Structure 1
Amino acid sequence: MRTHSRLVRALGALGLAAAAVLVAGCGGGGGSSGGSGSGGGAGVQPAANQASVTVGRGVQGVANIPTVSVTVCAPGTSICQTIANVQVDTESFGLRLASSAVNQVLGALPPQTVAGSPLAECTQFADGFTWGSIRTADVKIGGETAASLPLQIVGDLPQSAVATGGCASGTLELTPADLGANGILGIGVAPNDCGTLCATPPVGNSNYYACPGNINCTTTLVPVAQQVTNPVSKFAGDNNGVILSMPSIAASGQSSVTGTLTFGIGTQSNNALPGNVNKLTTNPFGDVNATFAGKPITAFFDSGSNAYFFTDSTLPNCSGNTSSFYCPSSTVVRPVSVASYNAAASGAPAGLVLSMTVGNATQLLANGNYALNDLAGNLGSGATFVDLGMPFFYGQTVYYGLDRSGSGGPGPFVAF
């Protein structure tokens, strides 16, 4: 479980969405990895356990937003709607859809309740927070189905209900324009978004709310089975992890690019984990040990962040609408060392060194491209992590093993 304050998605993406001219462009190069998670790219039909992932203009012209299509059905029925442009987020957990994007089927999705009251959630992300009801649906992605999945519908409850609760900080994100997508598909290493923290006292740790009449909302404990759930964990098979495979892109960036999301690891011939990959165990949230600029820190691999994000006082910030990003006069590289998570040790001084290429964001975003691999942003002072965002994924096949330790299975990992 990643707590409210550490659930990170799309850092800085809304700074791009706020200005239509900031639509991407890039330079630099991505790494490469062998691996068998490929397939289903442009012009290739995905297998039943795969879905095509597209980085393009999307719903709001935001750079580096990987998206898939998701079909949502009223449980056990053929009342369904397919929603395109749902962001693939490997560092959050569970499906969240904007209410306006599911208007055709929303009324048929039964609400989750606690003690007879409708259930809602306030979810803190790094760039704001979502608010909305918890409902149940059969969710189909590619050829896989998660039956009776608890998910969040964003923006279907009065704002006043959450404002009085003081549940989070930052910008309240309720619409596709706010999110930069029609929803968020959280497929990180955790099976649900809160776990025992929201199921056991004290109730103050919970980000779930009981809402009698959908207006008088108070914090509540929620059984794990009713919490927003990573849909992969509820697939009948291919449910132990995911593989995100993206092609390399041109040094100048591309207007769009198509990759593949593959479900399951080692469950079929197209999702084997090669023996030559770099495999790092993570904590339950997907974090690994890291060393950056000589300091111990943590890091994570996050397709839901549209840039690399770290703190480097030697790099100049951009100005104006791109002020959250770095603008060096020429392309530079910043190394970060990563190793398996170890709570008893700090940093990764002898770990695997990864390179983050940093271009001038103002220039890159003027090129008219949406896929870029050297966009980087500033976390500001006091940051305790490095976010290896979407630029890392170009030219990579990245594996995420779900945390199954709670049922006696293996713990979480990331590999590439």
Structure 2
Amino acid sequence: MRTHRRLLRALRALGLAAATAVLVAGCGGGGGGGGSSGSGSTSQLAANQVAVTVGAGVEGVANIPTVSVTICAPGTSVCQTINNVQVDTESFGLRLASSAASQVLSALPQETVAGSPIAECTAFADGYTWGSIRTADVKISGETASRVPLQIVGDLSQGAVTTGGCSTGTLELTPADLGANGILGIGVAANDCGTTCATPPVGNSSYYTCPGNTNCVQALVPVAQQVTNPVSMFAGDNNGVMLSMPAIGPSGGRTVTGTLTFGVGTQANNALPSSVTKLATNAYGDVNATFAGGAVTAFFDSGSNAYFFTDSTLPNCSGQASSFYCPTSNVTRGIGVASYNAATPGAAGGVLLTMPIGNATQLLANGNYALDNLAGSLGNGATFVDLGMPFFYGQNVYYGLDQSGSGGAGPFVAF
């Protein structure tokens, strides 16, 4: 599991304050030019495809790709469809806000270890989630995964943690905190923690046992009971995903629709062309990179709403968007990427990508939610580049699940 600096779902420096600038413009406050919408080819989706929408969502935060997910009490027709669940290619497993799943929540059995219900404290770059682990049948379009362990966020008291200290930063429990009704983690790993949380020392585990849903203490949890990427549990089309988004102009689009296709090379609609750039990743989806003349780690993260990197030559915005860059005119930055190789840092001879960067204050005031040139600062000392949601516009991006543990292919990203 990626914790702290390594579990990078969404550096939501945009936050709700800067999002207000978008909401104000969207409620009649005018807006800049180019408010056109874009759309992918979603009119005739196959059973292994679901529409992905970037729009106002639940909180008006820019660049949040969302899908609809149906969860059911295992083996029953007691179900609820939950809209506005964020598609996150750099986390693993399904997490739903308890308020968004209220219609079916009481019917979802809790996972237990030694007779005690289990919960998880999940650290992201922008904060952490806390809640119980439950089991549900998960349906996305025509695909179904049975008895999937997932996290219900915000259904337990955070004060119930008595050992381990949970995490630091902002506690995210509600759709307002998350910027969505939940997070669908479809990255390259099947589980969110694996052997780290299943074998000693227990102090490395993000899981807790909570007798009576109180007095929670850190605990080891078998991999099969950990929060699981639903894609890995589909009957077919279970070896990866393809996220396809249309290209948009420099002013962005108010609502943009793309497609999430399940499986890689399992059907005609998810074939991996020989012409794509295919990069092997580590178990978390990281690749080697060279940026600003230095060796860094990079990753392709639909769960981050901007490009994030450190560049002291770019001015930050003022006021509520101060974590974003505000150049006086549009600029670009280049990054070289190559397959992950821990022994040889950098991406010598790799593929050069270009990140367009606009003035975030102007972009966030134009009433558009899909922006392909929004970029933000990580602060000094950061040694990675987050190729966030702006990268995905105009691309088919493939993620191959890590199947090396069973003799299959290793994890990869391709575009």
Letter in 1 for 2:56: R
* Alpha-carbon distance between aligned partners in 1 of 2:163 and 2:204, rounded to the nearest angstrom: 17
Partner-residue secondary structure (3-state), 1:275: coil
Letter in 1 for 2:253: Q
Structure 1 counterpart of 2:367 = 368
- The Cα of 1:57 is off from its aligned counterpart by 0.1
* Alpha-carbon distance between aligned partners in 2 of 1:12 and 1:155, rounded to the nearest angstrom: 19
* Alpha-carbon distance between aligned partners in 2 of 1:45 and 1:145, rounded to the nearest angstrom: 19
Structure 2 counterpart of 1:132 = 131
Q: What are the residue-to-residue correspondences of 1:162-181 with 2, within 5 Å?
A: 162=161, 165-181=164-180
Partner-residue secondary structure (3-state), 2:241: strand
Summarize deviations over 1:267-316 as a string: whole Å, max 9, x none.
11111000000000000000000000000001000000000000000000
Q: Is the 8 A contact 1:207 1:219 kept in 2?
A: yes
- The Cα of 1:19 is off from its aligned counterpart by 4.5
Partner-residue secondary structure (3-state), 2:44: coil
Cα–Cα, structure 1 residues 26 and 142, in superposed 2: closer, same or farther, change >3 Å?
farther
Structure 2 counterpart of 1:189 = 188
- 2:316 equivalent to 1:317: yes
- The Cα of 1:215 is off from its aligned counterpart by 1.3
Structure 2 counterpart of 1:246 = 245
Structure 2 counterpart of 1:36 = none
- The Cα of 1:46 is off from its aligned counterpart by 1.2
- The Cα of 1:42 is off from its aligned counterpart by 5.8
Cα–Cα, structure 1 residues 256 and 17, in superposed 2: closer, same or farther, change >3 Å?
farther
Letter in 2 for 1:370: Y
- The Cα of 1:49 is off from its aligned counterpart by 0.2
Letter in 2 for 1:236: A
Partner-residue secondary structure (3-state), 1:140: strand
* Alpha-carbon distance between aligned partners in 2 of 1:90 and 1:405, rounded to the nearest angstrom: 19
* Alpha-carbon distance between aligned partners in 2 of 1:355 and 1:16, rounded to the nearest angstrom: 28
* Alpha-carbon distance between aligned partners in 1 of 2:397 and 2:354, rounded to the nearest angstrom: 16
Partner-residue secondary structure (3-state), 1:2: coil
Q: Is the 8 A contact 1:209 1:218 kept in 2?
A: yes
Structure 1 counterpart of 2:2 = 2
Bigger relative contact order, structure 1 or 2 (CA pairs below 8 A, ≥6 apart): 1
* Alpha-carbon distance between aligned partners in 2 of 1:43 and 1:188, rounded to the nearest angstrom: 22
Partner-residue secondary structure (3-state), 1:204: helix
- The Cα of 1:13 is off from its aligned counterpart by 4.8
* Alpha-carbon distance between aligned partners in 2 of 1:97 and 1:26, rounded to the nearest angstrom: 35
Structure 1 counterpart of 2:108 = 109
Q: Is the 8 A contact 2:307 2:355 kept in 1?
A: yes
* Alpha-carbon distance between aligned partners in 1 of 2:95 and 2:391, rounded to the nearest angstrom: 24
Q: Is the 8 A contact 1:17 1:62 kept in 2?
A: no
Letter in 1 for 2:403: R
Q: Is the 8 A contact 1:14 1:127 kept in 2?
A: no
Structure 2 unaligned residues grouped into runs of 5+:
26-30
User: Which stretches of structure 1, 4 residues or longer, exceed 3 Å deviation after superposition?
Assistant: 16-19, 22-28, 40-43, 162-165
Structure 1 counterpart of 2:301 = 302
Letter in 1 for 2:273: P
Structure 1 unaligned residues grouped into runs of 5+:
29-39
Identity %: 78
Partner-residue secondary structure (3-state), 1:274: coil
Structure 1 counterpart of 2:380 = 381
* Alpha-carbon distance between aligned partners in 1 of 2:42 and 2:6, rounded to the nearest angstrom: 38
Structure 2 counterpart of 1:32 = none
Structure 1 counterpart of 2:344 = 345
- 2:147 equivalent to 1:148: yes
Q: Is the 8 A contact 1:16 1:63 kept in 2?
A: no
- The Cα of 1:364 is off from its aligned counterpart by 0.6
CA RMSD, 1 decimal? 1.7
* Alpha-carbon distance between aligned partners in 2 of 1:129 and 1:237, rounded to the nearest angstrom: 32
Cα–Cα, structure 1 residues 315 and 14, in superposed 2: closer, same or farther, change >3 Å?
closer
Structure 1 counterpart of 2:254 = 255
Letter in 1 for 2:184: L
Summarize deviations over 1:3-28 as a string: whole Å, max 9, x none.
44411111125524564224598999
Letter in 1 for 2:147: S
Cα–Cα, structure 1 residues 292 and 105, in superposed 2: closer, same or farther, change >3 Å?
same
* Alpha-carbon distance between aligned partners in 2 of 1:354 and 1:156, rounded to the nearest angstrom: 42
Normalised by the length of structure 1, the TM-score is 0.95
Normalised by the length of structure 2, the TM-score is 0.95
* Alpha-carbon distance between aligned partners in 2 of 1:210 and 1:346, rounded to the nearest angstrom: 39
Letter in 2 for 1:90: T
Cα–Cα, structure 1 residues 14 and 224, in superposed 2: closer, same or farther, change >3 Å?
farther
Partner-residue secondary structure (3-state), 1:20: helix
- 2:320 equivalent to 1:328: no
Letter in 2 for 1:248: A
Q: Is the 8 A contact 1:12 1:377 kept in 2?
A: no
- The Cα of 1:161 is off from its aligned counterpart by 1.4
Q: Is the 8 A contact 1:95 1:186 kept in 2?
A: yes
Structure 1 counterpart of 2:283 = 284
Partner-residue secondary structure (3-state), 1:21: helix
- 2:12 equivalent to 1:12: yes
Cα–Cα, structure 1 residues 43 and 151, in superposed 2: closer, same or farther, change >3 Å?
closer
- The Cα of 1:156 is off from its aligned counterpart by 0.1
Cα–Cα, structure 1 residues 271 and 17, in superposed 2: closer, same or farther, change >3 Å?
farther
Q: Is the 8 A contact 2:19 2:61 kept in 1?
A: no
Summarize deviations over 1:194-250 as a string: whole Å, max 9, x none.
000000000001000000111100000000000000000000000000000000012
Letter in 1 for 2:86: Q
- The Cα of 1:252 is off from its aligned counterpart by 1.4
* Alpha-carbon distance between aligned partners in 2 of 1:86 and 1:13, rounded to the nearest angstrom: 19
* Alpha-carbon distance between aligned partners in 2 of 1:125 and 1:77, rounded to the nearest angstrom: 33
Letter in 1 for 2:252: G
- The Cα of 1:128 is off from its aligned counterpart by 0.2
- The Cα of 1:163 is off from its aligned counterpart by 7.5
* Alpha-carbon distance between aligned partners in 2 of 1:317 and 1:43, rounded to the nearest angstrom: 37
